[in-house]
Structure 1
Amino acid sequence: MTLKLYLKDVLVVTITHITTFDTFEKSSRIALTPAAEKFKPVFSNLTDEKSLTSGAPLPFDESFLDEWFLVDENCARKEIGGPGIYE
């Protein structure tokens, strides 16, 4: 199975070799597109527990938390929350 991760209409990541651990956590191989570079602060912030609980302002535009979609091989879209991607 291959999934594609979009922010609005921008392809950010292609996801392959998906293994589900539970409802919220998955392991996979990801290929970042060139467009992903500007979203790296989003990914790292959403995987850093200290950042999430510090109460500090977000180090990126808050609009980057909304309108993320996964698109499967059948072109079905599913909206998700801001993704945390571990590099």
Structure 2
Amino acid sequence: MPNIASASKRLRQNEVRNLYNRKIKSFLNTQKKKVIKSIDSNDKASAMEEFKKYSSALDKAARKSVIHLNRASAKKSDMMKKINAMK
């Protein structure tokens, strides 16, 4: 336990931020699974629709500094490559 008041406050803030970041990252993983499921079903229109939602969520997470901007760009690029590789 922290002995200093500011350290106690910092601990409380970190707990709240940790919960928020985990919630956002969990949502990102769910969106990613939806895109992959659409790709596996070989439905390009559905995959593009899900990709738009995933891309938007990544951009929002990057804006809120949950993930790095370059990380979001890399994830979008990787997913777009999978969609473009579909038959």
In the superposition, the TM-score normalised over structure 2's length comes to: 0.29
Higher relative contact order (CA 8 A, sep 6+): 1
Bigger helix fraction: 2
Bigger strand fraction: 1
